[in-house]
Each structure stands twice: as C-alpha cells, then as structure tokens.
Chain A
Amino acid sequence: DTAVSQTPKYLVTQMGNDKSIKCEQNLGHDTMYWYKQDSKKFLKIMFSYNNKELIINETVPNRFSPKSPDKAHLNLHINSLELGDSAVYFCASSRLGTGGADGELFFGEGSRLTVL
C-alpha cells in the first residue's frame, strides 16, 4: 500500500490552462503539505493543512488553490498556468508535533508539471 499517493504523475499542458493534482495519505497523519521543487532541485513549501484547516500559506500566487476535503486528502488546483509553474509538485504528510522526529515528512512520488 502506497503511504502517500499523488495523481497524475505527469502533466503536460499549454499556458493559460487549468490543472489539478490530487493527493491521498493512508498514514493517519493530521498534517499535509504541498511542496514545489524547481529545476535546481530547491524544495519549497507552498501550503500546509492540519485537519482540513489551512495553517501555512507561503507567498504563492492566487492562481494556486489548495483544498482539503478531509485530513487524508489534499488537492491542488492551478488556474491560468504559466511557464514558470513548470516544476515537480510533491505532496507530503506528517504528524504535527514539537519533539524529536515529529515533523518528519513522508513524500508522495511527485507530479511533474510541464507548461508549454
């Protein structure tokens, strides 16, 4: 059983289109994240939800809208895609805590978005 699964794994689309990526985790974690990894491999947080509530919203354009229908799912919808949106988007989950390994992220396989 895949712990954190995302679909689709690959998206190729034209500028201006809208696309969605879905994520599901079966680890029983309360917190889920979207990270963006650019061509230089820099992994940057975009959003985080805890029990369906948005707790982190980094400086991300309004064209990106996350939605969490329940604590096991976190989806990402992107409107009016731009060339600079091309990247790998990783979904992740974790236990929310303050000690030791709390905060360890479990990543999905990534969704590679290419905007032409």
Chain B
Amino acid sequence: QKEVEQNSGPLSVPEGAIASLNCTYSDRGSQSFFWYRQYSGKSPELIMFIYSNGDKEDGRFTAQLNKASQYVSLLIRDSQPSDSATYLCAVKEGNKLVFGAGTILRVKS
C-alpha cells in the first residue's frame, strides 16, 4: 500500500487567519484526492475532492493539487473556531481510499 503523509500538528491559527494543511502521496498513478474533516468523537465528513491540477474553490475552502510534486493542500480562509477538527487527506488507489494520519487544526478566538 502506498503512503499518504500529513503533519500531525496541532496547527494553531488565530480566528480570521488562513489555515494551510498539506499532504503528500507516494502513488504517482493516483487520480482522485479528498479532504475529510473529523470532529472529535464523530465520523469523517467530506469537505472537498479534486482530481485536476490547480486550484478548486468552495466557499472558504480551496484545494490545491500538484501531481508532478505529488502534493495536495487545503486552505481555509477566515478560519473560525468551528473549523477546529482533524483534517484527513485521502488518496484513491484502485477501489479504496488511503488516508493520511490527519492534521489537528486549532482555531483560537
């Protein structure tokens, strides 16, 4: 199984700032990439998916993909305390999603 790596954090940002979450993956053949958010004690929920190089924006969230560098990131603008959670990067390999260990984000008011 190929690997998906994330900095475990915690990443602390002040309210209103931009939070930048990063992920690298080892399988060059991967085509689809997902960001999930998981609140403590809850199940993961999808925030965004991306499969083309470049940026994809959805509200305060922007996913960025660079397949040549095998790198995918998630930017959260105007961070809110409610964004405090663990963010899981996932890469599709064949019929399954392979997850990174997650980055803990803390937004301080």
Contact = CB atoms under 8 A, between A and B. Distances in A.
A48 to B, nearest CB: 6
Interface residues of A, number: 27
Interface in B71-104: 86, 88, 90, 92, 95-99, 101-102
Given A41-B38, A45-B96, A100 B51 contact: yes
Interface residues of B, number: 24
B96 A41 contact: no
Contact of A110 (B43, B45, B90): B43
Nearest to A106: B46
Contact of B43 (A31, A103, A107): A107
A42 B32 contact: no
B34 interface: yes
A77 interface: no
B14 to A, nearest CB: 24
Main secondary structure of the interface of A (DSSP, over half): loop
A109 B51 contact: no
Contacts of A98: 31
Contacts of A44: 99
B61 interface: no
Interface of A: 31, 33, 40-45, 48, 50, 55-56, 58, 90, 96, 98-105, 107-110
Interface of B: 1, 31-32, 34, 36, 38, 42-46, 49, 51, 86, 88, 90, 92, 95-99, 101-102
Given A44-B99, A48-B95, 17 more contacts: A33-B96, A42-B99, A98-B31, A99-B31, A99-B32, A99-B51, A100-B51, A101-B49, A102-B32, A103-B95, A103-B96, A104-B46, A104-B49, A105-B46, A105-B97, A109-B43, A110-B43
